[in-house]
Structure 1
C-alpha cells in the first residue's frame, strides 16, 4: 500500500497530461496525441513550478510510468502486428525494409560514437530513428539497463524530427512526383512513430495510408530481434571486460530476452493466428495508446532545455543526419521497388 500511495501522485499528473494530449490532438488532428504527450512533458519539465512538482513528490510515479507502463504499452503494441500482413509485402520488400533498419541503426550508432555522445545515447538514438521512435528508445533502454538520463535527448530529438516529418514529407513527396503507393512506402519506411506515420501518410489518401502502416509495422516487428541482439552484445561485452579485469561478472547483466519483449512477441503470435477477439483488440489498442501517452509524458518530463543546449549541438547533428539517412534510404527503396507500379 505504501508503494501505491507513493506512485499515485505522479501517475495522476501523467494521466491528466495524457487526457490533455488527447484533447489537443482533437483540435490538431495532424499531430498525434503521443507526440503531444512528449511535448507536454518537455514543457512541464521546463516551467519552474511544475518542474519542482515533477522532481518532488511526483517523481516516483513519473519514474514508474516511464519504465513499467512503457513496457506494458510495448507488449500491447504487439497486438497491432500480424505476420500475415508483413509476409504480404513479399520477400524483396521485406529484405529492403530490414536493410533500411539495419543501415540506419548502425550508421546512427557509429555516428554517435564518432561525435562522442555520452553514455548509451548513440544506442538509444539508433533504436529510435531506425525502428519506432520513443517506444523503441524505451524498450532498448529497459533491455540494456541504460540510464534514464541517456534517454532524454534521444526522445526529444526523435519526437522533434517525427513531428517535422508530418509537415515536410507531404510537400517533398509532391515535389518528387510520388504516387500514393510510393509515398506510403516512403513514409512507412522512414518516419519514426506509428502515430506520426498515420498523420503523414493520410495526406495522400487511404491507399498511401494502408501501405505506410504495413511497412511501418514491419519495422516495429524488428524491435524484438534488435533488442535481443543488443542484449546479447551487452552481455558479451560485460563478460569480456570482467575477464580482462579478472573480476566477477556483474549480476545485473541484461536478460537475453527481456520479459516484456517476450510478451510483445506473444501478442504478435496471438494476432497473427486470429486468437484474439476483435472487441478485445479494440480495448487493447485504446489501452496501449493511454499507457504509452502516460509513459511518453514521463519520458518527456526528463528533458531539460538548458541541458540540451549545453550538449545539444552534437545530439542535434546526429538526429538530423540520422533522419536524412533513413529518408534517403527509404526513397532509394521506393525507386528500386516501385510499389504500386
Structure 2
C-alpha cells in the first residue's frame, strides 16, 4: 500500500521540475542553432544558474530537477560510451595518445595537491581535477559518487568548468593562429586540453571538418579514462579510510562486518554502476555489433539528456558563493593552464 502511494505521488512531485528542464532544453537547442559556438549543455547550465540566482525556482520544482540532475545524467553518461570506438581512438597514433595520457594524468594528479596548497576544500579540488582533466560535467558527476564531496563542491566545480571551458572556445583558435599551428595540431590540442566534448566540438567546428574529426577523437580518448580514474579514486579513498582507522578499531571493524552480513549491506563498489555501464557501452561500440542507424542516433539523444541534467545541476550554482570561493576559481584557472600547457608542449614536440 505504501509502495502504491509513493508510485502515485511520484508524478505530482517530479513532473513540474522535469517539465521545466524539458522547456530549458528546448530553449537551449534553439539558441544553439543561432549561436553554434555555444553548445546546448553550456546554455542549459547557464540557464539553470540564472533561474536559481534570480530566485525564479519554486521549491515544488526541486524534486524533478534533482531527478534530472542525477538519474538522467547517469543515463547520459552510459550513452556517452556508445560514442567511443577504441579502434577509432587508436588511429590517432602513439604520439597523440601519449600527449592525451600525459596531460590528463598529470593534471588529475597535481590539481588536488595545488588545491591543498590553496586551501580549497578537498572535495571541490578533486571534482575540479576530474572536470578539467577528463570530460567536464560528466566527470564531475561520476567522480561525485566516489569522492567525499557535497552539492556545494559540485556547484563550484561546475561553475569553474563552465567559465574556463567557454573561454577556451574563443581562446584556442586565436592562439593557434598566432602560434602558427596546423589544423591537425589544433585538433589534437583542443581534444587534449578543452574540458567538455561540446566545447571541443565548438572549437573544431569553427576551424573546419578535418580539425573537428581529430579534436573529437582526441577528446574521446580522454573520456575513455573516466572509468579507470573513478576506480583509482575509489580505491585510494577506501585505502585512506583504512589507514586512518585508529588503533583498537578492530572490534568496530568486526562489528561492522557482522552488521553487513546480517543486513546484506555491502562495501561500496569500486566504481558506480553507471560508470561500469559507460565502460560496457565502450566495449559494445568497439566490437562493431551495433547498426550505424543506432550509433548515429545516440549523440543527439545524449546531447539532449546532458543538457537537461546540466540545467538541473545549474540550479545549484550560487554565484554569490562562487564569487566568495575565489580560491576554487583560481585553482580551476591554474589547472586549465596546466593541461593546456602540457598538451601544447606535446603538440609542438610530437605532432
Q: TM-score, normalised by structure 2?
A: 0.91
**SS at 1:143 equivalent:** coil
Question: Matched residue of 1:272: which SS?
Answer: helix
Higher Cα Rg, which structure: 2
Deviation at 1:284, TM superposition (A): 2.4
2: CA distance between counterparts of 1:34 and 1:76?
A: 15
Q: For structure 1, which segment, 3-12 or 96-105, has the greater mean C-alpha deviation from structure 2 after superposition?
A: 3-12
Partner of 1:16: 23
1:299-338 paired onto structure 2 within 5 Å? 299-311=313-325, 313-338=326-351
Where in structure 1 do 4 or more consecutive aligned residues deviate above 3 Å?
A: 242-245, 247-254
- CA deviations 1:50-88 (Å, max 9, x no partner) are 13x1xx111111111111111110000000000001111
**Cα distance in 2 between the residues matched to 1:220 and 1:254:** 23
In the comparison of the two structures, how many residue pairs are matched?
A: 333
1:114-125 counterparts in 2 under 5 A? 114-125=117-128
Matched, 1:281 2:295: yes
- Verify the 8 A CA contact 1:144 1:254 in the aligned structure 2: no
Partners of 2:112 and 2:122 within 8 A in 1: no
Cα distance in structure 1, aligned partners of 2:15 and 2:98: 45
Structure 2 Cα separation of the partners of residues 191 and 252 of structure 1: 38
- Mapping of residues 99-110 of structure 1, within 5 Å: 99-110=102-113
Query: 1:43 matched to which residue of 2?
Result: 50
Aligned-residue RMSD, C-alpha: 1.7
2:174 matched to 1:171? yes
SS in 2 for 1:256: coil
CA displacement at 1:91 relative to structure 2: 2.7
Instruction: State the secondary structure of the residue aligned to 2:146.
Output: helix
The answer to whether structure 1 residue 113 and structure 2 residue 116 are counterparts is yes
**1:224-248 deviations in whole A, cap 9, x for unaligned?**
1001111111111222233557244
Segments of 5+ residues of structure 1 without an aligned counterpart are none
How far, CA to CA, are the matches of 1:123 and 1:29 in structure 2? 31
TM-superposed CA distance for 1:145, in Å, is 5.7
Residues 257-302 of structure 1 deviation map (CA, whole Å, 9 limit, x = unaligned): 3211111011111111111112222332222111111111111110
Task: Describe the SS at the equivalent of 2:269.
Answer: coil
Q: What's 2:129 paired with?
A: 126
**8 Å CA contact retained: 1:97, 1:189:** yes
**What is residue 97 of structure 1 aligned with on the other side?**
100
The normalised TM-score by structure 1 is 0.93
Q: Does 1:298 align with 2:302?
A: no
User: CA deviation digits over 1:182-239, x for unaligned, max 9?
Assistant: 1111111100100100101222211111111111000000001001111111111222
